[in-house]
Chain A
Amino acid sequence: MKTVKFFFLLVAVAGTSLPLLAGNGSIYSSFGVGDIINYGGIRSFAMGGTGIASLADGTVNELNPAGLGQLTRTQYAGEVQYQGYSMSDGTASTFLSSGNFQSAALAFPVYSEYGIGFAFSVTPFSRRAYDVIDKQSNPGITQTFTGSGGLSSAQFGFSFSPVQDLYFGVTTHYLFGNFDDVQEIEYDSLGYFTTNGDKNISTDGFAFTVGGLFSGLDKALGISKEKHLNIGATFFSGATLKSDGQIFQNFSTVADTTDSISTTTKIPLGFALGLEYDVRNNFILTGDFQYQQWSRYTYMGVHPPEIQNSMRVGVGAEFLPTRSLSEPYYRQVTYRVGGYMDQSYLKLNGQAIDDYFITGGISVPVFSTPGSEARLNIGLEHGIRGTTSNGLERDAITRVTVSLTGSDTWFIVPEVQ
């Protein structure tokens, strides 16, 4: 009960803090549908964003629904994230930061024999957050550009296992969100009316992820006598999102809607492959590759030239010294590291905008009983994006995610003897 209270407290705090902290980030998020967020839960976050082939019982696999197949207890997670952007264009620099509710997830097994499990989660798909001030001297004006919003995915996934070691899963994503881009021109001279234009787009639609996962590939291939290697793959269907919006402009006479938009946004398909290798039952290595065909992305039927196909390669490792509660506390802590390279979907001024990140994190036990456990997770990633050359911007980005994850016997019907 204590855990439940804390869980809901965490989500409540995260939810209420959202409007206070949301806001600032990089101008790169003004393109396309914003910064694409490859978030698969705190474990994945700390392990280079990997987890396509993860079957771990103890976290909710939000990357591959087939990864729900080995759940033994109800899993829950609530997460908040801090983001700090140190940005430079070679002549000026600034540091902007924001905090957001990141994700909440709930997953539970239904029929272990066939690996049937369900998961509900809300997680970000993309994020737009920027704040730029541009001063000009002739005429003396200050232009302000701010953007906020993004796409979220409210998703429902389930898994099943038709034969031993083979798992399949499907996730239905309801993608929804709002993009708000505001521009202002303020004149230095007194008595001048300030230009204010606000473009607000609401968008929503459905997409699907189909996943497969095979556990024990090494044994099946005769390489090993025991199952150490998992292989997983997902296919993201893409989506055609309905996008409606308006452009508001303030005039000295009236605030008016000057344009209404009713169109579609096409999110392209993508696929991912992943491997997970369990070295010694307490040391796991992971590696993922993701690809998304953003060259098919369109907004209002037009493909923006700055959007290109994206690729992402990530690796990670997890080490849990012991699961024994009698061991020293630091040995009960899970340690995670990783890294990834992301050729993002942006290509500006003829130059691809790439990300290079290292990640890490720990997961510390809060309590553990035979029926339930909870862990506090802290994940961190730091990396760079872009370059200061060619008129571009270089971002040094730090993200810290704090999460409470746990498991309990909720919703699980005891087996009849």
Chain B
Amino acid sequence: MNALQKSYPVIFIILMLMNGCSQSPTSVGAKLIPGSARYSSHDTTIAAVGDTSFKFSQANGSGASLLVGNYASVNATSLLLFAAYLPDTLTTVQIDTAELTLTSNYGWHVSLPPVPAQFQIKEVLSSWSSSTVTVDSLSTIAMAPTNSALVTITSQDTLSSTLAIVTQIDTSLVRRWINISADTLLPRFFSLALVPAPGTVNCGVWGFSSFNSSTPPTLTIIYEKNGVKDSTSLTNGVGTFLAASSPILASAGIQTQGGISEYSIIKFNLKPPLFDSVASNRIIVNNATMSLTLKNSQSSVGYGSIDSVVAYLAGSATQLDSVGSSYYGYGYRKDTSQTTNSVYIFNITSMVQQWINVPSGNFGAELRALGGSSNVDRHVFYSSADSVYGPKLSITYTKK
């Protein structure tokens, strides 16, 4: 009897092993599943029904790059604000030199023509905030010329591997800042602007690493005290840039440009009966790919920039800069070797699903430059009026 009782675990183990003999499921039985109970997969491609490009006066915030320069219609100015604590002991030292070190990280139309790019350093007298200052408010910002040297770039070839540019700063300006810092009653506002030097035309738009990077703008003060040379550096602060374009839309077609907040909206009609939004019949979007064809000759991407455009779900019919930031897709060149009519592919699956789920919220896809707060990259695409190269939306979906 004991032997029998000892066999119980063995019986259970045998049952478990029998279960372990189970194979992977196969198609056996698939033919018996009624078609009405199955999801079916479908593909369709539709053309855009409209598009519009527009520009907003928008703060670029604290981007990765501080842009300055000009090319064609684009003009950029950078603002730097040092969060400076200058020790009181500096009030008695003799300042030998003051240097501003900038490290390039971006260039747009900088290779041709190969002329030096020169920028002035100005003291900014009006307060500003990177989160609110826009190109429209540039005219209200007071700037004073300084005796600083020009920021001069002559070696475009080294741009891609980052180029540190050191420029002499007017020591009297630094002395004044030291005295202000020592006076607790005066506001500590130590700001500089970089603007294209007078007469500089088409030097390109240059970008320098901003604060909070590994190579921030650095103000180095070299001084002598009691016969001993020493130095102190300011590396903390806030930077932004202001860019303008005139005319605002340089080309016909769908276009985006970073820095100047130029966006486009492309509209697709996704309505019943093909795209039913009723819950029980709602289709499931498995893949939605928007393809745009680039006008290569009118488009330009800078050094150090990713050749990409991002499409967001447009959030309003009237407030054009409103987007649903949860729904977006990046667009990249399908074939990077193609030099004309390059096709950009955007995966906007969740965006299209949202359009179908909420048809009243379909205001289109809003194109924006990727990293538009750090570059002035421009992409110009064929518009929806072009039946051959206009925007297309290919959708793979399932439904019952």
Contact = CB atoms under 8 A, between A and B. Distances in A.
B296 interface: no
A402 B287 CA distance: 50
Interface bin, chain A: 35 or more
Q: For chain A, what secondary structure do more than half of its interface residues adopt (helix, strand, loop), or is it mixed?
A: strand
Contact of B12 (A13, A189, A252): A13
Nearest to B327: A253
Nearest to A14: B12
A185 B29 contact: no
Interface string B42-79: 01000000000000000000000000000000000000
Contact of A88 (B21, B22, B28, B280): B28
Contacts of B400: 197
B32 A185 contact: no
A139 B27 contact: no
Interface string A12-39: 0100000001001011101000000000
A395 to B, nearest CB: 9
Contacts of B41: 139, 141, 185, 187
B327 A392 contact: no
Given A24-B22, A249-B282, A133 B32 contact: no
B169 interface: no
B284 A139 contact: no
B279 interface: yes
Contacts, number: 163
Interface string B13-32: 00110110111111111111
Contact of A366 (B4, B28, B32, B284): B4
B43 A253 contact: no
Contact of B5 (A131, A145, A366): A366
Nearest to A257: B279
B279 A259 contact: yes
Given A143-B38, A193-B286, A96 B398 contact: no
Contacts of B23: 94-96
Nearest to B352: A252
B291 interface: no
Contacts of B396: 139, 187, 192
Given A87-B28, A92-B26, A131-B25, 17 more contacts: A28-B29, A84-B22, A95-B22, A98-B19, A133-B27, A141-B41, A143-B30, A145-B30, A183-B37, A193-B287, A250-B284, A252-B350, A252-B353, A253-B354, A254-B357, A366-B5, A400-B18
Interface of A: 6, 13, 21, 24, 26-28, 30, 80, 82, 84, 87-89, 92-99, 130-135, 139, 141, 143-145, 183, 185, 187, 189, 191-195, 197, 247, 249-254, 256-259, 348, 364, 366-367, 376, 378, 391-393, 400, 402
Interface of B: 1, 4-5, 8, 11-12, 15-16, 18-19, 21-33, 37-39, 41, 43, 279-280, 282, 284-287, 327, 347, 349-350, 353-354, 357, 396, 398, 400
23 contacts: A6-B8, A24-B22, A27-B28, A27-B29, A30-B33, A89-B29, A92-B28, A96-B22, A97-B18, A97-B19, A130-B29, A132-B27, A132-B29, A132-B30, A133-B26, A134-B33, A139-B41, A139-B43, A191-B287, A192-B287, A193-B285, A195-B39, A378-B11
